[in-house]
Structure formats: structure tokens, C-alpha cells
Amino acid sequence: MGNRFVETPTISIVNTTCDKCGLCSKICPIQVFNFNKGEIPKIQNNDECVLCGQCLCVCPTNSINHSGFDKLNFIHIRNKNKIDSDIAFDFLTQRRSVRNYRKEIPSTEILEKIATIAGFAPGGPHHRVGWIRNITIVSGYENMKIVSDISADYMTEMIKMLGSWYMKLAAKYDDRAKAALGIIPSFKNSLNEYKKGNDLITYNAPAAIFLHAPIKSSTPQTDCDAACMLIQLYADANGLGTCWNGILQGAAAGDHIKNFKRMSEFLKIPNGHKCYAAMTIGFPSIKLHSIPERKTEISWIN
């Protein structure tokens, strides 16, 4: 299925039903449809199609055929009214990172339902590479213990690397290297607590979600970040809490540690893919009564 969408799609227009409105030409971001008023659009640049599918969704006579889509799977827009602004503000501001979970393991059905929303996140699948979102879900305490153990080993390797003489030397001239050295105390504290049985790596979460993408796709990091945020919001709407977890992501990607593949192998991430985002997920065990202040600095050019 993945290879199908890397190939150039076949796009055609049913001449007998097309009403020559030109909406397909207006909405297509890469000008697949060459439209002249009063004429049926001509197909061009179909090798550049990014599979947004909006041409199909806007055509009033259902006259476009596209090999990348099955029209029977399209979702009808049921509610065209906008969400109330105050309700949206409350929902978005009340989503917080969760690091205290109940022991209950979320069902396979609810986790899959929540993860599926990733497919609706914005992305940049030029030439259709990365169009399909790729997610691995780890569920259950036995599997999560493996995730935590591998992550602890990754942190240990990171401390060794960051504490090396060349990193200390680099920190004298590079602010990024200097900032990297700043995570050593946090890593050491988390590892010490983990050895004592206090899990500050996955917070005893019953499940985790890893998002990976083809390395050769145009914007894999951005695609996974956007999908991750959408999953977190939808999880909150379904009564679950999440915490974006850079340690799990780093361990799954093997970032900065040569040949560190234990997590990616455990997750069965395919060759040519890399993990770009990860989160823990479960039912929150603590309820907040308020939200801390958050400030946004806005500049105008007008």
C-alpha cells in the first residue's frame, strides 16, 4: 500500500458529467488541472500530486477519478458550524502533559482510534512520500518495562558521549553543545531514581506511541510533530492523558549514539524510517483544578 502512493497516480475527469466550474483548478496546490473558462480541465503535473484529495472533495458533480483514493472511504462533513470560540479555547488550554497514570491499560480499540487521527494532521508529502502516517503503539506493563530499560541504557550512553572531552571542548565555542551538556544532571537524576524503582522515564505509563516516517520524505520531523500534537488533543478528548517524551524518541531514533538500534528493532521500525516523535499515554490519576499562566510574545508588522 505504501508503494502505491509513491507511484504517479492516475487522474481523469468524466467529460459527460463535468460542469466546467473550474473549482478543481482553483483548489489544487500544484496545478494538476489546467482550466480555461467554458472548457473541461486538462490533467497535467499529476506526477507532482501530493494526495491532498481536495479536488475530489470540492467537485460538485463527482466527476474526478483518482487512483490514490477510494471515494467510498471519504468522510462526509456532518457539521459545518464552527466550534464555539470559548469552548475551543477551554479545550486547548486545559490539555496538559500527564505524568501520573492509573494502572488501567487503555483498550486496543481506544488507542487505535486515537492514533488514527494522525492521518488528518497537516504534512508535506511531496511526491507522496510520507503521505501515510506510521505509528507503533506499545501497550502493557511488560512491554513498557522493555521500553524503559532500553531508554535507560540510551541515557547512560548519552551521558558518556556528552561527558567526553570533545563535547566539553565544543561547548566552549558552540552554544548548542553547551546547552546539550546541561541535560547531564537531569539524565543522571532520572537514572538514579529509575534504579530505585521510581520511573522518571516513562512515569509508569501503561502505553506509549511512537511516530516514524521515511527519512527521504520532505519534512519528516514536522509531519510527525504535527501528528503527535493532534493525537495528544484527541487523546484528551477521549479521557486519556499524554506526555511528549524526547527520551523515548531519542532512544527509538538512536540519536547521537552510533549503532544504537535496540529500541528501533524492538519497535520493528522499518529500514529507511526514523522515529521523530514519541509520547506516553494512559488514564490520568490526578485532576488539576486550574491551569498555570502561559505567556505569548507577539510582534506585528502591519
DSSP 89-127: HHHHHH------B-SPPPPHHHHHHHHHGGGGS----GG
Stretch(es) of the chain classified as CATH 3.30.70.20: 3-73
Q: What integer is the mean pLDDT of 130-141?
A: 94
Q: 82-302 architecture in CATH?
A: 3-Layer(aba) Sandwich (3.40)
Q: What integer is the mean pLDDT of 82-110?
A: 94
Q: To which residue does cell 546539550 refer?
A: 180
Integer Cα distance of 194 and 201 in angstroms: 7
Stretch(es) of the chain classified as CATH 3.40.109.10: 82-302
Q: Is the pLDDT of residue 125 over 90?
A: no
Amino acid at 192: N
Per residue in 233-244, pLDDT tens?
999 999 999 999
Would you state the pLDDT for residue 5? 61
Q: Is the pLDDT of residue 299 over 50?
A: yes
Q: 3-73 architecture in CATH?
A: 2-Layer Sandwich (3.30)
pLDDT band for position 3 (50/70/90)? Answer: very low
Q: Is the pLDDT of residue 55 over 50?
A: yes
Q: Which residue, among 32, 61, 64, has the nearest Cα to 46 in the 3D structure?
A: 32
Average pLDDT, the chain: 93
